[in-house]
Chain A
């Protein structure tokens, strides 16, 4: 993974000092709260319901054991002993104190981490495929490209006060595990006929109150000119994005209002004017960054392992874990392991300091010192030898991290909701917990198969409900929490928007409704047909009838 050089270190250290100065100026009254707010947001510090919240960047979801241990240390020292991994591949702390924030940033800077631009109307942390560099199906490792974008977007003099937040996601594989079509800019790495690396550029995706799936405006931009293309998009957006209404300020609205073709024309006009300029990165720097992401030296091993087979035959839970929580690796005899942060009845994405330390230890011993955070709020050990799976699982299981439910119904994405968030209208976490309590039988979950439930506690859709196979949206109805049920969303390359099925439910009714939807699917499905495929074939009526009775 990328290692800071003296420039990078100088940059984050200066940032820590700058923020220390800003906090002091705020406390002395020299900065007004209105002026301080975007500055603290651009250092990841939110004011929430009960306390400040600090969102720490995990650039493109990649970190090493030392960094993971530091995250555990911060949870212990400045918080209540846990952290929350988010759908943006970051980690959030729910109980830091404002006066501690500069010290936390200093602790992070020591291990090449920061909270830069994790909030605010600027270019946010770039996200990518959690299996990048390990996935058997990838064209190129997207993390080198993401690192180039990270540097270009950090403290950009022109694009730090955009109309609204700006999120870029990139995938290096045809199978989209980064939900690129749901981002302000989505990038898909490709090679052209001469073998040159470039990106397909999609623009104007997003969730929130107006869900929109991004549209392709360039089929292939050479990587050597990618930053010029991004700069052109951002310039047009900065100039023309709406600033009069924050709900219409995202680029998706500009693209819709301008028209995709006209928007593309504006971007290409600017791109043509600047592409030969000074924005892009010299080839030797691209090569320098890329070498940090060279594949680790893994031995080619046998795909079979007697110890693994023996335990799988004897222990159903282990067998299920291997089946559900491992992903095919480029190198024979290896897999990527997903550590589920969705224990039965737990809070999706939460991990204690002890669990973080354990994951760091395991990664150091068994996974090339590397950990990933996925947008599904799980942790990944990217480079694991199959022969080590038994030992890894036993350690994880003993620490409450052995859930075998990755990709299944209880692998739920949920935002923090009204338990923490000042924007929320309804609680998300208790709904996730109630659903996992209702579906607590692993054999039943395996029978149901691939099913993504995503829960948001308000219309801002941090829980990605628009992209859920089953999406749940908490709203406020006359002072009561009310939950809408949406079906048929997808965050992958076949992206689709989930549709509201009918009237909403209270917190108990929504769990019943989910169960009725699942029962209807089980009754109607064909051999091997997933929930999403069945929904697309059948349409909503079967499910409406199951949930609301005959009409």
Chain B
């Protein structure tokens, strides 16, 4: 599995997951389940070279994300299956309601055909099977325009039509 930047397809640092109460044994980026992170917010102080992020499951109520910026500098949303659309709303909420500016990564089962949706919902990196890296890059660049404005600066064509002289068809 590669971890890639959704916009460029280039490699980014792989985040490792601290399951079952384990502690980080070396420097690097570590994901801690959101619940534990909140419980142990004080004790998981980032050691030298250790950076902690939140591991968020798709069934997390969005209100549990409140204050996340205080104890996580990045976040991963784990998709149990690519059809679980709750992950998209969680990312939207992180950006829109909880002012989260850190890296948001999709991990678990997402497919290349969702790449642009992920990016537009607020994710900027994703876990990608190596053989699908190219398909992810193709997908993220497929649509040049969008029908909705989004939290990531995407401007809907319904607005663009009135900002761009000459973009409209002369009938």
Contact = CB atoms under 8 A, between A and B. Distances in A.
A366 interface: no
A25 B135 contact: yes
Nearest to A243: B84
Interface string B95-115: 011000000000000010110
B147 A154 contact: yes
Interface of B: 61-62, 82-86, 88-89, 92, 96-97, 111, 113-114, 116-121, 131-132, 135, 138-139, 142-150, 156-162, 167-169, 171
A10 B144 CA distance: 8
Which 3 residue pairs across A and B have the least CB separation, nearest first? A161-B85, A157-B120, A278-B149
A157 B161 contact: no
B88 A238 contact: yes
A21 B160 CA distance: 28
Interface in A113-166: 121, 148, 151-163
Given A121-B83, A285-B161, A288-B161, A7 B97 contact: no
Interface string A254-278: 0000000000000000000110001
A5 interface: yes
A282 interface: yes
Interface string A280-314: 01101100100000000000000000000000000
Given A21-B138, A152-B147, A3 B85 contact: no
A174 B132 CA distance: 52
B86 A239 contact: yes
Interface in A1-55: 3-8, 10-11, 14, 17-18, 21-22, 25, 30-31, 35, 38-39
Nearest to B146: A155
B161 A161 contact: no
B169 A6 contact: yes
Given A3-B169, A157-B121, A11 B85 contact: no
Given A3-B169, A11-B145, A160 B162 contact: no
Contact of A158 (B89, B169, B171): B89
B167 A6 contact: yes
Contacts of B120: 157
A148 B88 CA distance: 23
A3 B161 CA distance: 14
Contacts, number: 120
B143 A7 contact: no
Given A10-B144, A39-B113, A239-B62, A151 B85 contact: no
Contacts of A273: 97
B162 A161 contact: no
A279 interface: yes
A77 to B, nearest CB: 27
Given A6-B168, A278-B149, A158 B121 contact: yes
A162 B135 CA distance: 23
Interface in A209-243: 235, 238-239, 243
Contacts of B61: 239
Contact of B150 (A3, A18, A157): A157
B40 to A, nearest CB: 26
Contact of B83 (A6, A31, A148, A161): A161
A337 B8 CA distance: 55
Contacts of A10: 144-145
Nearest to A154: B147
B158 A282 contact: yes
A155 B89 contact: no
A285 B162 contact: yes
A155 B147 contact: yes
Contact of A7 (B85, B89, B111, B160): B160
A18 B135 CA distance: 11
A156 B113 CA distance: 13
Contacts of B158: 148, 151-152, 281-282, 285
